[in-house]
Amino acid sequence: MKIKWTTLFILLLLVIVIFLIVGDRSGEQETGDLSLPDEEVEQVKHKEGYGVSSSNPVAVEVGMRVLEQGGNAVDAAVAVSFALGVAEPYGSGLGGGGTMLVLPKADAEPVVYDYRETAPKEGRKNSTGVPGLVKGMHEVHHDYGVKSLYDLLEPSVEIAEGGFVVDTYLSQRIHGARHRIDQDAASHFFPDDEAIKGGETLRQEDLAETLKRLQEYGLNDFYEGDIAEEIANNYSDVSKRDLEEYEVVKTKAAKGSFYGYNVYTAGPPTAGITLIQMLQMAEAYKLDRIDKTSADYIHLLGEMAKQAYNDRLSNISDPKFTEIDTEKLASEKYSSKMASEISTDELSASFDVNDTPADENNHNNTTHFVVMDQDGMVVSATNTLSNFFGSGNMVEGFFLNNQLANFSSNDKSPNAYEPQKSPRSFITPTIVRSEDGDDVMGIGTPGGRRIPQILTQVMISAMFDDISIQEALDQPRFIVEDDEIFIEEDMPDSIVSDLRNKGYLVKINNSDMFYGGVQVLSKFGEDGEVTGAADKRRSGVWKARSTE
């Protein structure tokens, strides 16, 4: 008996010593790089965690703070949306719109909130549509939010009023769009008549006052109060009545299948159907088994893009104005028929892809983010002004969109301009989920007309290659447009020769902006691990923490 108590005492001492050496490891863990955009981001997984993925470190911090203070994924998404309008004013903001895909819980069906801009009820066709972002945040928060809107707006007020340090990326965007921006209204972007430089602090006092007003009087003030008056008075094509009558559209997500996974994405008038069709054609051709660097892979993916993009022109538009059979267009049968028309050896005849001023000028300036909370709620959202800084017109501290450039130039198109209609868009917020709900991934990207091609390439590699999501994002991308193939870096001469023999022109375009900036978070497996990846092309950032 004495020996047993001695042994027990020694074991207890050992336990205490080990605890003192190792310390308490049950607290939070985190990852992601919130310093300079070009630093390496460590790839770490976390059990039973939550996270935010965005192109902006300020927005990621805002979203994480909301999650840590008891908010859910929708609360964080609302706060991130407002914060991005402050920290990335070229990409989205109060004067724009977007689309948000919400997965309320693991075993639920996602809901789409379409708060994209609409054409005014009266007046001539111009560039600016009726902004929808603020009403979209109001609606999604009303349905799912648990924290007060006042609190969710507070971080953006602080950032706008106190300022933030401008990075080189924002400075370059301001400089590049200086000829389109109303510099009198946006003088704080141009100190000494030059674009604000990286390392300087940007304060947006007018925007801060607008956000404070939304805190005090509610988000409806944007559509019915003094802010609405200012918009109508400063931009006559958008009237007070247009703002008062604006409505968010809530629908179920477009749904397709991809190797046994359910793909949920935004339906018409956005490009979710186009992505589903490309993924299902890729499955029909077993594209995951083909060498990603081969001429055959590049050719087939390009042909699939042409089929899906061409189909989009005749079948995708605002469903409030045109009856659209979404289930048929997203079916495997429909995709298989398109796939059967592809030649594996020859370059197809030219397909129409572009039919809008925005397509021709490649309005590629959207911002995407993903949020996951510890209870299984997932948000995948894409917000936009259409082009960089939208129309360039600033009202009450925010830029107005130029979304109406996304209407077709062809008056007979289903995407032709009509009052109170939303134009077509390539934005494609997406959620992928396994049948049992254990695996889920939120994903999306900016990139204009190249979005479906970018996402298809990344999703094939991320889901089926034996590599991490980060490695999938880091792989060189290519874009096929008619008989031209744009690549990020040199290809072996043999592959270039094979492509030229098929009739392609191969060109290097090493502009990061050209190839999007994918934002992604995923939980794979029953242990609920959270992982993400940061796309170096647009200074991507992600952060996650464990709740253990």
Question: 516 by DSSP, 3-state: which?
Answer: coil
- The secondary structure of the chain in percent helix, strand, coil, rounded to multiples of 5, reads 40, 20, 45
Q: What pLDDT is stored for residue 534 in this prediction?
A: 84
Q: 202 pLDDT exceeds 90?
A: yes
Determine the Cα–Cα distance for residues 107 and 425; give it in Å rounded to an integer.
29
Q: Which domain holds residue 335?
A: 49-163+203-546
Q: Has residue 42 been placed in a domain?
A: no
Which of these, 459, 124, 178, 521, lies nearest to 301 by C-alpha position?
459
Containing 113, the helix (H) or strand (E) segment is strand 111-114
**Mean pLDDT on 459-468:** 88
More confident residue, 7 or 388: 388
Q: Has residue 192 been placed in a domain?
A: no
pTM for the whole structure: 0.89
Which of these, 177, 175, 179, 176, lies nearest to 191 by C-alpha position?
175
Which of these, 539, 541, 534, 542, lies nearest to 38 by C-alpha position?
539
Which of these, 176, 175, 209, 205, lies nearest to 193 by C-alpha position?
175
Which of these, 343, 278, 340, lies nearest to 309 by C-alpha position?
278
How many degrees, rounded to 5, is the angle at CA 410 between CA 389 and CA 309? Answer: 75
Q: What pLDDT is stored for residue 22 in this prediction?
A: 34
If you write DSSP's letter for every residue of 121-154 in order, what string do you get?
Answer: SSS---SPPBP-HHHHHHHHHHHH--S-HHHHHH
525 is in an annotated binding site: no
Q: Has residue 423 been placed in a domain?
A: yes
Give a three-class secondary structure readout of 433-475. ECCCCCCEEEEECCCHHHHHHHHHHHHHHHHHCCCCHHHHHHC
Q: How many domains would you assign to the chain?
A: 1
Determine the Cα–Cα distance for residues 47 and 386; give it in Å rounded to an integer.
37
**Mean pLDDT on 378-391:** 95
38-76 pLDDT, tens per residue? Answer: 333 333 444 468 999 999 999 999 999 999 999 999 999
Q: 11 pLDDT exceeds 50?
A: no
Q: 24 pLDDT exceeds 60?
A: no
CATH assignment of the domain containing 441: 3.60.20.40
Q: Has residue 1 been placed in a domain?
A: no
Q: Which residues pair with 441 in a beta bridge?
A: 432, 522
Q: 26 pLDDT exceeds 90?
A: no
Q: Has residue 443 been placed in a domain?
A: yes
Q: 155 pLDDT exceeds 70?
A: yes
More confident residue, 32 or 227: 227
Q: What pLDDT is stored for residue 352 in this prediction?
A: 67
Q: What pLDDT is stored for residue 293 in this prediction?
A: 87
Helices (H), 290-383: 295-315, 326-329, 332-340, 357-361
Average of per-residue pLDDT values in the chain: 88
Strand pairing category for 505-508 and 484-487: parallel
Residue where the block lists tokens 């990409």:
91
Determine the Cα–Cα distance for residues 13 and 419; give it in Å rounded to an integer.
78
Determine the Cα–Cα distance for residues 338 and 333; give it in Å rounded to an integer.
9
Q: Has residue 38 been placed in a domain?
A: no
Q: 353 pLDDT exceeds 90?
A: no
More confident residue, 454 or 107: 454
Q: What pLDDT is stored for residue 539 in this prediction?
A: 84
Tokens of 410: 């062809």
448 is in an annotated binding site: yes
Please list the active-site residues.
366
Tokens of 280: 């299902």
Q: Please list, in sequence order, all residues whose beta carbon lies within 8 angstroms of the beta carbon of residue 173, skipping any fewer than 6 positions away.
A: 90, 388, 389
Residue % of the chain over a pLDDT of 90: 73
Q: Please list, in sequence order, all residues whose beta carbon lies within 8 angstroms of the beta carbon of residue 212, skipping any fewer than 6 positions away.
A: 157
**Mean pLDDT on 395-415:** 93
Q: Has residue 316 been placed in a domain?
A: yes
Instruction: Please confirm whether the linkage preceding 476 is cis (ω < 30° from 0).
Output: no
Q: Has residue 179 been placed in a domain?
A: no
Determine the Cα–Cα distance for residues 313 and 352; give it in Å rounded to an integer.
8
427-463 pLDDT, tens per residue? Answer: 999 999 998 888 999 999 999 899 999 999 999 998 8
Q: What pLDDT is stored for residue 124 in this prediction?
A: 66
Residue 358: which pLDDT band, with cuts at 50, 70 and 90? low
Determine the Cα–Cα distance for residues 102 and 92; give it in Å rounded to an integer.
19
**Mean pLDDT on 263-287:** 96
115-126 pLDDT, tens per residue? Answer: 999 999 986 677
Q: Which residues pair with 540 in a beta bridge?
A: none
If you write DSSP's letter for every residue of 379-393 in order, what string do you get?
Answer: EEEEEE-SSTTTTS-
